Amino acid sequence: MARAFMTEAERTDGAGHGRPRRSFRGPRGGSSGDRGGWSAPGMWRRGVLLAALALGLTALLLLHARVPNVIGNLGSLWETFLPWGGLLIPVLLVGAVVRRSATALVALLAPAVAWWSLFGGLISDKTGSGGELTVVTHNVSAANPDPGAAADQLAASGADVLALQEIAGDRIPLYERELAAAYPHHVVIGTIGLWSKEPLQDARHVDIDIGWKRALRATVQTPQGDVAVYVAHLPSVRVEFRSGFTAGQRDDAARLLGREIADDPVGRVVLLGDLNGTMNDRALAPVTSQMRSTQGAAGDGMGFSWPASFPMARIDQIMVKDLDPVSSWSLPGTGSDHLPVAASVNLP
């Protein structure tokens, strides 16, 4: 009875007033039903801004061709590094988890699906075996510290056709000498060259209106028939604070190159070169709209080629027209700031 009295006393003050009962407080000082935790309806009301950012990213991914180029060619700059836009998804995911927002988590499904629809096919391995013609293209860099070793490495690739860009004038004899044994046929025009195991015919300069010779065209006479091969090194682009993504000269050159390829009398065409742009860049549409990327059709992964130390974009391209890509891959570095890229194709 005394114990019952003491218990009752513990619950009342001297005036007989009842003390407020304690209730459980959540991590933010709220009760178990507080909206700071993973509980409805709070988790649906929070994170509206994060959800809006997720939907905005979805629009940028799916409608990348609509991002205007009026100011600093921002559209082309975004398209150059478009696959890396997917890195924003985990950033937003962390924000959604920290904010405990179910709304933001659901909204993040949209950019995830959009990214996968654009690049999911590149992640899978689509490489096959064999191929009737193997080609390699490489920007060897005029500043390559060991061009002789680079030439030897490229000759050992076993390619039937080898295209080089950015050959310094005083190094042309070196490449000709080092590649002569593997490639009895070659042509060098300006700073680009084409080496072939099969005979070359109708080699000529292709004028892309940039003031110097950085594009050529030749017919490779393979046992399966003629193939028109274009080698091109389109003008470089720059990202500058005042003018943005300066790519006007490259864009004009791409239009002229696309016109040449469209009018080529040989139906089967291969384009090899450093185009200073990706397949997603709308500025290269005069070329990409009529040709297939071997990496997209028969590669394994993104196939980024530049910069060689940490590849972030595939600006070195192998594209084909009326040919069937079998496989596409990158070769080890040669001392250049670009990686060589290779592909095998069948000639239908």
Which domains, and CATH codes, for the chain? 42-123 (no CATH), 133-346 (3.60.10.10)
How far, rounded to the nearest angstrom, does the alpha carbon of residue 178 sit from its chain's CA centroid?
Answer: 32
pLDDT in 10s for each residue of the chain, 348 residues: 445 444 444 454 544 455 555 544 444 444 444 456 777 677 888 899 999 999 999 999 999 999 988 777 788 889 999 999 999 999 999 999 999 999 999 999 999 999 999 999 898 899 999 999 999 999 999 999 999 999 999 999 999 999 999 999 999 999 999 999 999 999 999 999 999 999 999 999 999 999 899 999 999 999 999 999 999 999 987 765 555 556 789 999 999 999 999 999 999 999 999 999 999 999 999 999 999 999 999 999 999 999 999 999 999 999 999 999 999 999 999 999 999 999 999 998
What pTM was computed for the model? 0.84
Nearest to 97 by CA among 21, 144, 55, 43: 43
Phi/psi zone of residue 232: left (φ > 0), alpha (ψ -120 to 50 degrees), beta? beta
Q: Report which of 299, 344, 290, 300 is spatially closest to residue 322, judged by C-alpha positions.
A: 290
